[in-house]
C-alpha cells in the first residue's frame, strides 16, 4: 500500500524546520542559486527514509546540513528536541566513497571513532569486533583497505558508523559505484541491520528501485522549487520484489513526479545553450 501523505510526529527523532540554503556563483553578475527553500521534514525514531530527485535538487546539501557539515542560511535542525549547529556523534554520514584510512586494518578503521572518543583499547576492540562480525567481515578483520572490494569497503564504513552508535545514520548514495549484484547484497544487509539495530536512516539515492526497496517513506525533491515535492509512505512488507505489480505502481507514481522536473531541466539547458 502507498499513500502520498505523511503526518508530522511528536515523537520525531529528527526535525528539519524551514531550512534554506543558497550558493553564490563567482560570475560577473554574481548569480545566486537557491538549492533549498524552506524545507521541513520530520523523521520518526527507527524510520528508514529514502530521498530521491534529479541532480541539483539539494538532496546531498540537505544531508550535509543535517549532519552539521554545512550551515543553513535559515531554519534549524533538531535531534531529540535539541538544536544542532555542528557535527556530532549522534549523526554519522556514509558517503559514496567510504573515507576509510588505507594505512589501518579493517578492525582499526572500525574502532577509530571510538578511539577519538577516548574509549579504552579493550572496550573499543570488543565493540569493533562485534560490528565487523555484524557486517560479515570477520575473516578480513586484519586486512588492509586496499585488499578489499568496493562492497566490502562500504561494509567497513557501515560497521565504523554503527560502532559509534549514532541516533541517525545518514547515507549519501553509498552504493552508486557498485555493481548490481554487490548492491543487491548490500541492500539486504542494510535492511537486516536496520531491523536488528532499529537505527533511524536517511538514504539519498538517484535510483528509484533502491528507494522503494529500502524506504518506509520516499521523499521526492524538486530542483525547480528547492523543496520537497511529495512524500510516499510505503507499507509493503519486506523483502520486496521490485518487479511485483504493487512495486511497479509505486515506481510509476514516483517517476511521474520526477519526469516534470527532468523536462524542466532539459528546457533550462536548451535555453542556456541558445543564449
What is the spatial distance between Cα 148 and Cα 226, in angstroms, rounded to a whole number?
38
Work out the end-to-end distance of the chain between its first and last CA atoms, rounded to an integer number of angstroms: 46
What's the distance, CA 31 to chain centroid? 29
Q: For residue 99, what pLDDT is reported?
A: 84
What is the spatial distance between Cα 99 and Cα 157, in angstroms, rounded to a whole number?
8
Q: For residue 111, what pLDDT is reported?
A: 95
What is the spatial distance between Cα 136 and Cα 14, in angstroms, rounded to a whole number?
30
What is the spatial distance between Cα 159 and Cα 252, in angstroms, rounded to a whole number?
34
What is the spatial distance between Cα 263 and Cα 273, in angstroms, rounded to a whole number?
16
Q: For residue 275, what pLDDT is reported?
A: 36
What is the spatial distance between Cα 90 and Cα 241, in angstroms, rounded to a whole number?
33
Residue range 30-62, pLDDT digits in tens = 678 889 999 999 999 999 999 999 888 899 999
Helix axes 180-197, 150-163, angle to 10 degrees: 20
Helix axes 121-134, 150-163, angle to 10 degrees: 130
pTM: 0.89
Q: For residue 263, what pLDDT is reported?
A: 67
Q: For residue 1, what pLDDT is reported?
A: 43
Residue numbers of the chain with a pLDDT score lower than 70: 1-10, 26-30, 98, 263-275
Q: For residue 28, what pLDDT is reported?
A: 61
Q: For residue 4, what pLDDT is reported?
A: 42
The secondary structure of residue 241, as a DSSP letter, is -
Amino acid at each position: 500500500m502507498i499513500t502520498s501523505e505523511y503526518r508530522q510526529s511528536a515523537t520525531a527523532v529528527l526535525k528539519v524546520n524551514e531550512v534554506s540554503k543558497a550558493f553564490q556563483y563567482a560570475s560577473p553578475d554574481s548569480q545566486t542559486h537557491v538549492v533549498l527553500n524552506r524545507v521541513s521534514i520530520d523523521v520518526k525514531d527507527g524510520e528508514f527514509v529514502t530521498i530521491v530527485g534529479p541532480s541539483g535538487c539539494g538532496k546531498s546539501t540537505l544531508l550535509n546540513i543535517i549532519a552539521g557539515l554545512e550551515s543553513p542560511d535559515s531554519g534549524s535542525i533538531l535531534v531529540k528536541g535539541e538544536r544542532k549547529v555542528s557535527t556530532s556523534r549522534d549523526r554519522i554520514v556514509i558517503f559514496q566513497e567510504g573515507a576509510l584510512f588505507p594505512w589501518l586494518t579493517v578492525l582499526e578503521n572500525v574502532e577509530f571513532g571510538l578511539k577519538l572518543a577516548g574509549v579504552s583499547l579493550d572496550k573499543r576492540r570488543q565493540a569493533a569486533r562485534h560490528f565487523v562480525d555484524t557486517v560479515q567481515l570477520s575473516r578480513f578483520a586484519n586486512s588492509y583497505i586496499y585488499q578489499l572490494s568496493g562492497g566490502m569497503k562500504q561494509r567497513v564504513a557501515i560497521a565504523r558508523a554503527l560502532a559509534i552508535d549514532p541516533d541517525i545514520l545518514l547515507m549519501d548514495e553509498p552504493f552508486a559505484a557498485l555493481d548490481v549484484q554487490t548492491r543487491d547484497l548490500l541492500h539486504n544487509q542494510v535492511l537486516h541491520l536496520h531491523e536488528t539495530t532499529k537505527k533511524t536512516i536517511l538514504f539519498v539515492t538517484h535510483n528509484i528501485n533502491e528507494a522503494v526497496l529500502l524506504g518506509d517513506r520516499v521523499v521526492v525533491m524538486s530542483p525547480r522549487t528547492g523543496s520537497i515535492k511529495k512524500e510516499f509512505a510505503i507499507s509493503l512488507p519486506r523483502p520486496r520484489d521490485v518487479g511485483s505489480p504493487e512495486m511497479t505502481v509505486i515506481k510509476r507514481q514516483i517517476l511521474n513526479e520526477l519526469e516534470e522536473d527532468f523536462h524542466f531541466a532539459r528546457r533550462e539547458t536548451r535555453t542556456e545553450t541558445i543564449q
